[in-house]
Amino acid sequence: MTNLTDASVAFLATDGFEDSELTSPWKAVTGAGASATMVSPKPDDITGKHGHVQTVDVPAADASADAFDALVLPGGVVNADHLRMDADSIAFARAFFEQHKPVGVICHGAWILIEAGVVDGRTITSYPSLATDLRNAGAAWVDQEVVVDHGLVSSRTPDDLPAFNTKVIEEIGEGIHRAQHA
């Protein structure tokens, strides 16, 4: 397993996230030695669709990609829909691409990347209902367990979490990806 000691990973979510798509990658990256930070446009705590409560560490308005080595975007329809309407969250996500840093996205989290304008020309997967949205934004959508495209790791559903977590850790361990772009 890749050792991520000294790596700092931001998780961006709000109420309605898919619980396992936050908790499983969080446990995976911290288990590999990274520190994890919860960023959200909502202050204090956020609650997943199945009841997991997560303390917010940094408001999205105050968060800077400069402080992190990677970003993870959990899914959940309500979560992703609210985040794609929040300018601070969109700018925060886009900055990781501008800085060539690894990004992991699962399920409906890809909506945020569409709003950030970073999927054009990229190969990505997501929950199947986003396929048309992603294609319309210029992405090559594929139905695979996990897809890695120059530091962008994507998966479809909680069933894909083992493969997703492995690839997220691998890409964070590799560091900057020059082909990762906004």
Catalytic residues: 107-108
Question: Residue 145 in 3-state DSSP?
Answer: coil
Distance CA 172, CA 164 (A): 12
Among 36, 5, 51, residue whose Cα is nearest residue 104: 36
Q: Which residue has the tokens 């970003």?
A: 71
Q: How many CA atoms lie within 13 A of 76 on its CB side?
A: 25
